[in-house]
């Protein structure tokens, strides 16, 4: 009889211990989840979580810029070089090209790139470079093209900023989004009209453009001494 009673008490004790263990385990799991949620919420509210940008391609770029241009209305930028500053007004009428330039400026793409093609009394062309960092930036932002937008009445006058076509197989001369050129030629370069999109103009700093255009270059029009774009900032 004592043996039976002892076994009954032992089984009852084990059941109570098991219930307490399960209860304790459940509370620990719940508490841990709550802490994780609190930490995540704190990061979100403090803004310490970096914003995510899509990797752009030919399928999503236009839809992205259609939204981006409405939410980012800035239209004036400053390009800083060792020769001085160049202030540029971006045209509202060429909205995809304006939005693209503002987007790349905010992503700090242009910082550290170069004016890599210089032809005196014609153009200075920038937005590329001979270093690995430029290629990495392009990979992170995406591989895409912009459509020509040449029916807005803008011509390749002296001081206008335009976008060259891409070296990707490109029979329709779609624009390379990372590069740009400024017309330095006296009287303009109107034979380019219709082929490339004029999307802005220099409003201050044409003397800087002239200084850059006058540097010595090699046979490929690359300056003998690299001309870096130190940074590009938005003025308004």
**What secondary structure does DSSP assign to 90-113, as a single string?**
EPTTSHHHHHHHHHHHHTT-STT-
User: Is the domain 54-234 a CATH 2.40.100.10 member?
Assistant: yes
Residues sharing a CB contact under 8 Å with residue 66, sequence separation 6 or more, in sequence order = 96
Neighbour-count burial for 166-198, b at 16+ CB within 10 Å, e otherwise: beeeeeebbbbbbbbbbbbbeebbeebeeebbb
pLDDT along the chain (236 residues), means of 10: 44 46 38 34 38 88 96 97 97 96 97 97 94 93 91 96 71 77 97 94 98 97 96 96
Residues sharing a CB contact under 8 Å with residue 181, sequence separation 6 or more, in sequence order = 117, 123, 124, 125, 126, 161, 162, 163, 164
Would you state the pLDDT for residue 116? 95
Would you state the pLDDT for residue 51? 58
Would you state the pLDDT for residue 173? 57
Would you state the pLDDT for residue 129? 87
Would you state the pLDDT for residue 164? 85
Q: Which two tokens stand for residue 137?
A: 């930036």
Domain boundaries, the chain: 54-234
Measured between alpha carbons, how far is 163 from 177 in angstroms, rounded to an integer?
Answer: 7
Would you state the pLDDT for residue 148? 87
């Amino acid at each position: 009889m004592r043996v039976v009673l002892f076994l009954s008490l032992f089984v009852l004790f084990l059941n109570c211990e098991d219930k307490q263990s399960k209860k304790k385990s459940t509370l620990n799991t719940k508490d841990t989840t709550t802490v994780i949620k609190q930490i995540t919420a704190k990061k979100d509210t403090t803004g310490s979580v970096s914003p995510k940008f899509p990797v752009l391609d030919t399928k999503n770029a236009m839809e992205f810029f259609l939204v981006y241009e409405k939410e980012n209305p800035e239209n004036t930028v400053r390009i800083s070089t060792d020769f001085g500053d160049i202030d540029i007004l971006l045209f509202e009428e060429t909205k995809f090209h304006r939005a693209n330039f503002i987007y790349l400026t905010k992503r700090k793409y242009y910082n550290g790139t170069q004016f890599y093609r210089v032809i005196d009394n014609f153009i200075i062309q920038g937005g590329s470079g001979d270093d690995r960092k430029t290629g990495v930036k392009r990979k992170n932002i995406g591989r895409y093209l912009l459509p020509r937008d040449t029916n807005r009445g803008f011509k390749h006058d002296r001081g206008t900023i335009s976008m060259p076509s891409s070296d990707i197989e490109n029979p329709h001369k779609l624009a390379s989004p990372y590069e740009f050129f400024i017309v330095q030629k006296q009287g303009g370069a109107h034979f380019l009209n219709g082929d490339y999109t004029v999307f802005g103009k220099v409003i201050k700093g044409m003397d800087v453009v002239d200084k850059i255009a006058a540097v010595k270059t090699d046979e490929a029009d690359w300056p003998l001494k690299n001309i870096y774009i130190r940074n590009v900032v938005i003025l308004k």
